[in-house]
Amino acid sequence: MVEKAKIKVGDPIILIDSTGFEGQGLYDGMKGWANSVATVDQTYVFFMPQDGKEMYVTPASRVEVDEEAKAAGLELNENTIAKGD
């Protein structure tokens, strides 16, 4: 079994289970960023869509590292954060 990559703050990620977020405009396969990572009883990721500034808290099991974007050197920083409203 291939183990999922551990998500770190700033990683490019993909939302793989948008259950419960449909009313927020989120969808399976949506790309974004790990704005923050917190562990309480399990690990949670603060998912920030690529083109937005809102954050949505979700269990880490519902997102995965975008390996292709990470290999290309993409990470959340002042150059990649959305500049719009």
The C-alpha atoms of residue 60 and residue 77 are separated, in whole angstroms, by: 21
Extract the runs of DSSP E, i.e. beta strands, from 1-85: 12-15, 31-39, 43-49, 56-59, 63-65
Dihedral of alpha carbons 55, 59, 63, 64, sign: positive
Which residues 6+ apart lie within 8 Å of 58 measured at CB? 15, 17, 21, 44, 45, 47
Q: What is the pLDDT of residues 52-64, one digit of tens each?
A: 989 999 999 999 9
Which pTM does this prediction carry? 0.88
pLDDT at 85 over 70: no
